[in-house]
Amino acid sequence: MQVQDMATLQAELAQAQQEKAKQEEKITAYEEQRQQLHWELRKLEGSQDQSKQEASMSQAFPQGTGRLRSARISLSLTASLCHRQARSLQERLQELSSRAQRWQRLHQDSERALAVREEELVVCKVELAFLKEELSKATEQVQDRNRQHRSP
Protein backbone atom coordinates (compact mmCIF):
# COMPACT_ATOMS: atom_id res chain seq x y z
CA MET A 1 0.00 0.00 0.00
CA GLN A 2 1.40 3.38 -0.92
CA VAL A 3 1.74 6.47 1.23
CA GLN A 4 -0.77 8.20 -1.04
CA ASP A 5 -3.35 5.49 -0.23
CA MET A 6 -2.70 6.04 3.48
CA ALA A 7 -3.25 9.78 3.08
CA THR A 8 -6.50 9.12 1.21
CA LEU A 9 -7.69 6.74 3.92
CA GLN A 10 -6.81 9.24 6.64
CA ALA A 11 -8.68 12.00 4.78
CA GLU A 12 -11.71 9.73 4.39
CA LEU A 13 -11.52 8.85 8.08
CA ALA A 14 -11.43 12.53 9.05
CA GLN A 15 -14.36 13.25 6.74
CA ALA A 16 -16.36 10.36 8.20
CA GLN A 17 -15.66 11.63 11.73
CA GLN A 18 -16.88 15.12 10.75
CA GLU A 19 -20.02 13.64 9.22
CA LYS A 20 -20.59 11.63 12.40
CA ALA A 21 -20.38 14.82 14.50
CA LYS A 22 -22.86 16.59 12.19
CA GLN A 23 -25.29 13.70 12.44
CA GLU A 24 -25.03 13.68 16.23
CA GLU A 25 -25.86 17.41 16.24
CA LYS A 26 -28.89 16.83 14.01
CA ILE A 27 -30.11 13.99 16.21
CA THR A 28 -29.80 16.25 19.26
CA ALA A 29 -31.69 19.07 17.51
CA TYR A 30 -34.48 16.71 16.44
CA GLU A 31 -34.74 15.32 19.95
CA GLU A 32 -34.99 18.83 21.43
CA GLN A 33 -37.64 19.77 18.88
CA ARG A 34 -39.53 16.55 19.62
CA GLN A 35 -39.48 17.30 23.35
CA GLN A 36 -40.71 20.85 22.73
CA LEU A 37 -43.59 19.56 20.59
CA HIS A 38 -44.38 16.92 23.20
CA TRP A 39 -44.60 19.64 25.85
CA GLU A 40 -46.86 21.77 23.61
CA LEU A 41 -49.05 18.75 22.95
CA ARG A 42 -49.49 18.13 26.68
CA LYS A 43 -50.32 21.81 27.18
CA LEU A 44 -52.94 21.70 24.43
CA GLU A 45 -54.40 18.47 25.78
CA GLY A 46 -54.74 20.20 29.16
CA SER A 47 -56.55 23.12 27.50
CA GLN A 48 -58.76 20.68 25.65
CA ASP A 49 -59.63 18.86 28.88
CA GLN A 50 -60.43 22.17 30.55
CA SER A 51 -62.65 23.19 27.63
CA LYS A 52 -64.48 19.86 27.82
CA GLN A 53 -65.02 20.31 31.56
CA GLU A 54 -66.34 23.82 31.04
CA ALA A 55 -68.61 22.60 28.25
CA SER A 56 -69.99 19.80 30.42
CA MET A 57 -70.56 22.27 33.27
CA SER A 58 -72.41 24.49 30.84
CA GLN A 59 -74.58 21.54 29.79
CA ALA A 60 -75.18 20.51 33.41
CA PHE A 61 -76.47 23.97 34.25
CA PRO A 62 -78.20 25.14 31.08
CA GLN A 63 -79.31 28.74 31.24
CA GLY A 64 -81.53 30.46 28.75
CA THR A 65 -79.43 33.58 28.52
CA GLY A 66 -77.69 34.55 25.33
CA ARG A 67 -74.42 35.05 27.16
CA LEU A 68 -74.24 31.41 28.27
CA ARG A 69 -75.26 30.22 24.84
CA SER A 70 -72.47 32.22 23.19
CA ALA A 71 -70.03 31.00 25.88
CA ARG A 72 -71.02 27.42 25.08
CA ILE A 73 -70.42 28.04 21.38
CA SER A 74 -67.08 29.65 22.16
CA LEU A 75 -66.10 26.72 24.38
CA SER A 76 -67.12 24.26 21.70
CA LEU A 77 -65.08 26.10 19.09
CA THR A 78 -62.11 26.31 21.45
CA ALA A 79 -62.32 22.58 22.21
CA SER A 80 -62.49 21.81 18.49
CA LEU A 81 -59.51 24.03 17.78
CA CYS A 82 -57.52 22.46 20.63
CA HIS A 83 -58.34 19.01 19.32
CA ARG A 84 -57.13 19.92 15.81
CA GLN A 85 -53.98 21.51 17.19
CA ALA A 86 -53.31 18.46 19.37
CA ARG A 87 -53.77 16.16 16.37
CA SER A 88 -51.46 18.36 14.28
CA LEU A 89 -48.83 18.33 17.02
CA GLN A 90 -49.11 14.56 17.37
CA GLU A 91 -48.51 14.19 13.63
CA ARG A 92 -45.54 16.57 13.80
CA LEU A 93 -44.18 14.68 16.80
CA GLN A 94 -44.48 11.40 14.91
CA GLU A 95 -42.72 12.91 11.89
CA LEU A 96 -39.86 14.20 14.05
CA SER A 97 -39.56 10.86 15.83
CA SER A 98 -39.31 9.12 12.46
CA ARG A 99 -36.67 11.60 11.32
CA ALA A 100 -34.67 11.11 14.51
CA GLN A 101 -34.81 7.33 14.02
CA ARG A 102 -33.62 7.67 10.41
CA TRP A 103 -30.73 9.91 11.53
CA GLN A 104 -29.83 7.44 14.27
CA ARG A 105 -29.76 4.58 11.75
CA LEU A 106 -27.65 6.69 9.40
CA HIS A 107 -25.38 7.58 12.31
CA GLN A 108 -25.00 3.90 13.23
CA ASP A 109 -24.21 3.04 9.60
CA SER A 110 -21.61 5.81 9.54
CA GLU A 111 -20.08 4.54 12.76
CA ARG A 112 -19.78 1.06 11.27
CA ALA A 113 -18.21 2.49 8.11
CA LEU A 114 -15.86 4.56 10.25
CA ALA A 115 -14.82 1.45 12.20
CA VAL A 116 -14.10 -0.35 8.91
CA ARG A 117 -12.01 2.62 7.71
CA GLU A 118 -10.10 2.69 10.98
CA GLU A 119 -9.43 -1.03 10.68
CA GLU A 120 -8.24 -0.55 7.09
CA LEU A 121 -5.98 2.25 8.28
CA VAL A 122 -4.43 0.00 10.93
CA VAL A 123 -3.87 -2.74 8.35
CA CYS A 124 -2.27 -0.21 6.00
CA LYS A 125 0.01 1.05 8.75
CA VAL A 126 1.11 -2.50 9.58
CA GLU A 127 1.67 -3.25 5.90
CA LEU A 128 3.61 0.00 5.49
CA ALA A 129 5.81 -0.84 8.47
CA PHE A 130 6.44 -4.32 7.03
CA LEU A 131 7.32 -2.88 3.61
CA LYS A 132 9.64 -0.32 5.18
CA GLU A 133 11.41 -3.13 7.03
CA GLU A 134 11.67 -5.16 3.82
CA LEU A 135 13.00 -2.12 1.95
CA SER A 136 15.55 -1.52 4.69
CA LYS A 137 16.72 -5.15 4.49
CA ALA A 138 16.90 -5.03 0.69
CA THR A 139 18.84 -1.76 0.80
CA GLU A 140 21.26 -3.27 3.31
CA GLN A 141 21.78 -6.32 1.10
CA VAL A 142 22.46 -4.14 -1.93
CA GLN A 143 24.94 -2.06 0.04
CA ASP A 144 26.67 -5.23 1.30
CA ARG A 145 26.98 -6.57 -2.25
CA ASN A 146 28.32 -3.26 -3.49
CA ARG A 147 30.92 -3.28 -0.72
CA GLN A 148 31.89 -6.86 -1.57
CA HIS A 149 32.32 -6.02 -5.24
CA ARG A 150 34.45 -3.00 -4.44
CA SER A 151 36.68 -4.92 -2.09
CA PRO A 152 39.90 -6.22 -3.71
pLDDT one-digit tens code per residue, 87-129: 888 888 888 888 888 888 888 888 898 888 889 888 988 998 9
Residue 119: inside a domain: no
Average pLDDT of the residues of the chain: 80
Say if 137 falls within a structural domain. no
In a domain, 61, yes or no: yes
Provide the pLDDT for residue 139.
94
Q: Is residue 8 part of a domain?
A: yes
**Predicted pLDDT of residue 54:** 67
Domain count, the chain: 1
Q: Is the pLDDT of residue 61 over 70?
A: no
Q: Residue 86 is part of which domain span? A: 3-114
The pLDDT score that the predictor gives to residue 55 is 65
Integer Cα distance of 73 and 65 in angstroms: 13
Q: Helix, strand or coil for residue 80? A: helix
> Which pLDDT value is given to residue 140?
93
CA nearest neighbour of 112 among 16, 4, 7, 8: 16
Residues 6, 128 contacting (CB under 8 angstroms): yes
The verdict on residue 141 lying in a domain is no
Confidence class of residue 57 from pLDDT cuts 50, 70 and 90?
low
Residue 63 lies in a domain: yes
